[in-house]
Amino acid sequence: MDIDRSHVVVVGAGPGLGAGIARRFAREGFDLTLVARTAGTLDPLAGELRGAGAQVRTVTADVADPATLATALAPVAAAAPGVVVHNVGLVVGDDLLVDPPEHFAHALAVDVVGAVAVAQLFTPAMRAAGEGTFLVTGGGPALHPDRAHASLTLGKAALRNAVALLHEQLAEDGVHAAGVTVVGVVEPGTALDPDRIAEAYWELHAQPRGSWTADTVVDGS
């Protein structure tokens, strides 16, 4: 089975880091599928990229709902894209001892289970082809727990371990799975400018087989 080496899917293609990742791969001539919960999030970025000459498809889907996510992304997965980036996180202030368990269950569905669902949708074609790249956006709370962002701390810690498992398991089939751990607040014009961080994703994708790493930390401090 072949994959489309010049097709990248960006799940969580918002105006910040998702846009930077999309622009970086577009500069390399990739066709793009952008995924977000609402068309209002997708349309401005899609318009920008199309104006620069990129081929862009948009899909609205919620990673917290695996069943509808699978339905929405099934046609995209059938096209066997060679690169998939999962760039999703629920960033809210909360308290481990105050907020209800349902809140944390939802946060974990967004931050962790969604990434697993996306991996299960897209990596079978990569494994069959013996190549491909699956990248995930992590976060600083996985390294430095933040009591003011308890759900994000739990989610990013679990996600980091999920990526470690994916890295080991998928490498056996020739697929590179890795994470980018972003420490700090993503903001244009700073050390954590989205376009700067996006270079880490391209560098992971471009790593030669045999030199694959599981994680890159981009620290804005």
Q: What is the 3-state secondary structure (H, E, C) of 162-173?
A: HHHHHHHHHHCC
- Residue 55 near residue 79, CB atoms below 8 Å: no
Contact 176, 203 (CB under 8 A): no
Bridge partners (DSSP) listed for residue 84: 9, 134
**Structure tokens given for 3:** 């994959």
Report the predicted TM-score, pTM, of the whole model to 2 decimal places.
0.96
Task: Residues 4-219: name the CATH superfamily.
Answer: NAD(P)-binding Rossmann-like Domain (3.40.50.720)
H-type alpha helices, 52-113: 66-78, 101-108
The tens place of each residue's pLDDT in the chain, 221 residues long, gives: 799 999 999 999 988 999 999 999 999 999 999 999 999 999 999 999 999 999 999 999 999 999 999 999 999 999 999 999 999 999 999 999 999 999 999 999 999 999 999 999 999 999 999 999 999 999 999 999 999 999 999 999 999 999 999 999 999 999 999 999 999 999 999 999 999 999 999 999 999 999 999 999 999 88
